[in-house]
Structure 1
């Protein structure tokens, strides 16, 4: 629809810029009363909307006055710079006319023109700039309603010229004579085609039948929500609720599942522990055989090889005895740092042939030098870093026993030599060296055992 303009320059009307448009509506076409508005814009403006309603003349108007833009609000059309009026039903053959109260003499500097037009709702948004920019606006969108013929639905539904298609309904025109077609509820499409209205699948909308226990079934023109198995309709609330028996079944199923899961977990743990214990037992037997346990067991049972007073320790007793297998309890490494240093000092003195320098004075005075050296070499062997090269306790005992026998034989020899010397002195026989040789040889051959090699100091 064209825009009506009423413009002035210094109080004189500008006819070149002013227009008063009119619209002659075709038969059965009317200006939509629900989708249009009559709008007037200006600060010295009033306007008329004229037309015919059911063959009778009709006129309405609107006025807008203001002296400045101070109180104007953008987006508001309530009488200050802008006003609007509803369109009546069935209006056709309309004319628009815009006029001024004082030829815009007071507001010409910011609003030289007044405007009037019919516009589709929500397409025009008033602003202060509209007071000038509408001068260049030629047209505004407008919606027309239409109807078929001049008869009502009751007159044409049984006639051959009735054009509403299937799944549609007839509606009398609200703007006067004639009728229109509309798809029935649950259908959508073009109602003027024979199969233009198609069923809407309401079940595609998740908001339908979205309550628990409900299921949607689409039907022609409608949909139905029904309760699934195990639920029933609560008439008072209008929703599906679980059946009592269904709750019991679910409870039993839940409890059975829980107990079954717990039983499986328990059985799994028992089997795991049994398998683990069996594996540990096999591993212990393997290590027992690998470390000579069978031989030790045979020696204990047969009491062979002088194995006596043997005590077997379990793992807990070994942990306690070794302070949880502390490195300080390892044989050859010593229990404390000072002990380890003393062992190293002893071995170093043996290597440097300075054994006598580290011996106690009492040992030097009372002990036999050769025996001390033999014992020192034996101790050196016991401290060997390679455990396989260390003597066993049995070997140590045998060698110490040999040293003791040698010491006792030497003492007996000295006593015998002293007695023989007295006899020789009395008999004046001189064969001491020969007698001594034979005794030493005899003693040595009968008592001395092979000892460790040693270095002389």
Structure 2
């Protein structure tokens, strides 16, 4: 009898070992489980027959000691780690250039291997002085990029990657192939340092480097790739009997198909169910041991020595050890223990709720103080802001209004934060802007000042600030909701119901100019917007213009002429004079408005990859056409159809003056607004030529010096715009 029991135990042990081998993902006993120090789980493999398809083959290079696993596309990458959660870490080459010109290099496509770069775990980094680095698609169009300026002191201090000698940005989703480009920001001021650019794993970059400059000594850096299984290969995982999702209630694993980066094809993902561990991709669905049960009793999870842990399939139970006493006494012990546990759970739950509620209140108070809530309350109570229109919202109301900031509620994203669509308890539709984290030392006063100033602005062509919330980690601003999108969408997306006629465009230009004139001259304190562009001009239900996004705006003293700041703005709209001097004036907003005016005339985008590099900037393209006296050739067909030539010439001259490289020679927004209103008046007057001359005479009497520039011939106006070769690179980003 004893011998039979021993034989039975040996059979059970052998069966358990067989189940373990299948659970870790071995296709057969001859398949290698690792290469060097890296584990190679199925669906990946080294030998033929050990991987699901050729896309998952790993080459084990034994010329290294220890051997290194290599993943081959067109070139080989060293594999650092393979995880069954769908990620693959490899060493990827970095790109560099030590010349002052533009250098571009195409990188191998990952499409053949069904791989993409992980957007959430990687970053695009560029290191170097005076450096603009970008990732380009197959048509050489920029898909992402960043710019770093020079600061030798920052190089010596080894500062982080914040835009000075080093910059970083997120990469697009589903990125598989690209070319990388390095170019100087200003070719006329060559830099003696080498420039570097690469995609890198964000956590590795932040935790393993003492300074971004350490990357200069490395040829490769870690990146995280995402792998997935084409659903056409599902039979290799689920077998021929399972062509759809597999989630049997009695199985230890589940598989499902979903949309992926494989075009119209689906991807298959599998996972072990809770309480099980192993490799869910083992290619035999008839074997339940592909995900084996976890023995939860290891480590004694039961809370008392009076309990005995019993492992079950996918879980465990804690059973009471019955003492050798009378049955009545045992029942009393069980009842009292259960009641004690019940009261303990209720008391613990109540205590937890109280503690969490107090903690949440203190947390909100901390954020409220840190975000300047007390200072803002002082401003509101002192009457410096419009108390009736400015409201302090609480975080709970705004979370409810935006469905806890659901990604489906996002209206837009920018450098200052993310804007969500929300509905307040009274049914009012609003736009909630979730700002980025504020630097408590440097930006708190400016943020509060901005809220106070914007609460005083009352102009029909400026988006209204309804209030803010300061009891969250980042400040929340609440604006009126503008339903018809941006001017950029209106110009560049076909709209048959409301076509972009000349009357509509001229009205929008006049409204924006009037609003900027109000901000510059009529507000209690002059306000510089600093980011005028077609995407920051919204259109309401009647297609009236509304200037938005005051995240980078600044107010100044009445006797102050400029702001000295770190250069901020958008390529194509950025004032070249501000870019060179870092001094922002009211004429910098005039330059940006000039670009918007040219967009309205031509229907073209501010930056376009379809134009040649020399005239990629719309401002350069337009000035060149004016100088060649053929600017009518680039005017939008709808404008040519709806307007008169005299009107187009007048607006074109005005745009050219706004785009003058010298800020002193540009008109003020007051003069621009008056000129546009005059042109609008001409459209409603029967005798166009006669009234055009009358309006010109009136304007000449009021602004004689400026009128000499604005009413001169095209050739005469050309002399007011610097056209030297030194100026062009500043307009061709």
TM range (shorter): 0.3 to 0.5
What is the TM-score normalised by the length of structure 2? 0.27
What is the TM-score normalised by the length of structure 1? 0.41
